[in-house]
Structure 1
Amino acid sequence: MMAIRPAWRVLLWPTIGAGVLLAVLLALGIWQVQRLAWKNAWIDQLRAAEVLPPEPLPAELDDPAPLAFRRFAVSGRFQHDRSVLLGVHERARRLGVFLVTPLERTAGDPVWIVRGWVPYEAPRAVPNPEGEVTVTGFLMLPERRGWFTPEDKPAERRFWAFQPDRMAKAVGLPRSTPFAIAAIGPGEEPPIPQRRPPMPRNDHLGYAITWFGLAAALVAFWIAWARRLLRDARSA
């Protein structure tokens, strides 16, 4: 017993540290499982909403966030002289951008319409319908700028993230909705609308497996290390 005690003293603090780290890894894994359940439920709701007929867009929306990706129909007149270009998107190996134009309504603030994909080299050489039009699409919320998001070019009306306030200021629009309607439907000529709302990424299962895998590896490493330490202490 006298020979084993020093080994247990050596084990004490590493065991406490490993226990804390194990708790953190397990907590992160459980959190990702919870996020996975939430994301799956949200995706199921989005898929269910896809088959529903579009609703008329209300004149005012106090809280558009719960309605993200829901389908709406809105009527009005395009303000083509206030169009902007958004992001960079590849289609059939061609580089392009989204053409975004405010739609003036008889009731409510102008609403941004993501009309569709246009080629990068000639983004504005597209038909511009005059008169009243009706657009069907999904509700798109503002986007956050990331650390590596390039700088916008308001003077050229080119933006990398959908931020309604910045876009409205750049084109001299006094006010606009804090969301957009992204047109969906068939079409092969620019601006080419999207076929369907994009589904959010769901990587939570992979993250959960990673955290639980690290926790299992930590336990296996600690067991192997502790057994070796105790074996060496007994043979000393």
Structure 2
Amino acid sequence: MLGVFLVAGTWQWQRGLEKDAMLAAQARTIQEREPVALATAREHPERLEWAAGTGRFPDVAPVYLDNQRNDGRQGVRVYRVFEVDDADATQLLVELGWLPLPADRGLPVLPDLAPGEHPVRGLLMPPPSAGLSLGEALQRQPDGSLLALRVVPAEIAAALGLSVDLAPRVLRLDPALDIGFERDLDVLANTLPPEKHRGYAVQWFGLAAATLVITLVLSFRRRRQ
């Protein structure tokens, strides 16, 4: 029991440090805003970078990430496949923003995107944290769209029948762009902040300390008897 509590506490503490580093990288990236090419989405899967480029949204069904809260409201984040104007025709998922769900959980009807070339920019980053990977990641809807419990680019590419793999990173569009829906650049949306992880770590370490004290007290009493 002592070992389990120590491992759990150490893991939670480490997660807090990782998220601290992610928030620091986000602040630095947004402040500097030195754009890299969108084609680099295939490289450095864990890196946060400001990216910009041009391309088009092919006629591919959208992806809705389920269980996304915004100001206490339940909704989905909308992703569309974006094909970059480069020699390799790089494709990646672009987050267009958040939309609320009605009481019957009917998926929203999206307006058509303007055809042709689109300039885009935003935060190039790993997909949202998936948490525990339980159950099927994707559910195909009657209109051909995908309802996702987690964003796994390789699985989404296969489900959409794409001829090329999607980049491992996704693009969160700059909220200033006149495209898409309500959105921000919060890299920890719908996940625990660092201070929560540290709080859980303290609890696990407290349980470890309590286990150690109880074990010593019981052992001492047994020896006396």
Q: Secondary structure at the match of 1:204?
A: helix
In the alignment, which residue of structure 2 is the partner of 1:85?
Answer: 63
Instruction: Choose which of 37, 52, 56 in structure 2 pairs with 1:57.
Output: 37
* Residues 95-142 of structure 1: CA deviation (Å, up to 9, x unaligned): 432332222222132232111223444633325123221112222435
TM-score, normalised via structure 1 length:
0.69
- The count of residues paired between Structure 1 and Structure 2 equals 209
TM-score, normalised via structure 2 length:
0.72
Q: Distance in 2 between matches of 1:224 and 1:122?
A: 58
Q: Secondary structure at the match of 2:24?
A: helix
Please show how residues 27-66 of structure 1 align to structure 2 within 5 Å.
Answer: 29-30=9-10, 32-66=12-46
In the alignment, which residue of structure 1 is the partner of 2:93?
Answer: 112
Cα separation, partners in 2 of 1:118 and 1:163, compared to 1, 3 Å: same
In the alignment, which residue of structure 2 is the partner of 1:9?
Answer: none
The structure with the larger Rg is: 1
Q: Distance in 2 between matches of 1:93 and 1:40?
A: 24
Cα separation, partners in 2 of 1:119 and 1:191, compared to 1, 3 Å: farther
- Is the 1:117–1:190 contact (alpha carbons within 8 Å) kept by the matching residues of 2? no
In the alignment, which residue of structure 1 is the partner of 2:55?
Answer: 76
Bigger shift: 174-183 or 88-97?
88-97
Kindly indicate whether residue 175 of structure 2 is the aligned counterpart of residue 185 of structure 1: yes
Amino acid across the alignment from 1:177: A
- Is the 2:38–2:84 contact (alpha carbons within 8 Å) kept by the matching residues of 1? no
In the alignment, which residue of structure 1 is the partner of 2:134?
Answer: 147
Bigger shift: 215-224 or 106-115?
215-224
- Whose helix fraction is larger, Structure 1's or Structure 2's? 1
Q: Distance in 1 between matches of 2:10 and 2:110?
A: 51
What 5-or-longer segments of structure 1 have no aligned partner?
1-20
What 5-or-longer segments of structure 2 have no aligned partner?
none
Aligned-CA RMSD value: 3.3
Kindly indicate whether residue 121 of structure 2 is the aligned counterpart of residue 136 of structure 1: yes
Q: Secondary structure at the match of 1:207?
A: helix
- Is the 1:101–1:113 contact (alpha carbons within 8 Å) kept by the matching residues of 2? yes
- Is the 2:41–2:169 contact (alpha carbons within 8 Å) kept by the matching residues of 1? no
Q: Distance in 2 between matches of 1:211 and 1:91?
A: 30
* Residues 14-42 of structure 1: CA deviation (Å, up to 9, x unaligned): xxxxxxx5466446545554554444334
Identical-pair percentage: 24
Instruction: Choose which of 109, 112, 124 in structure 1 pairs with 2:109.
Output: 124
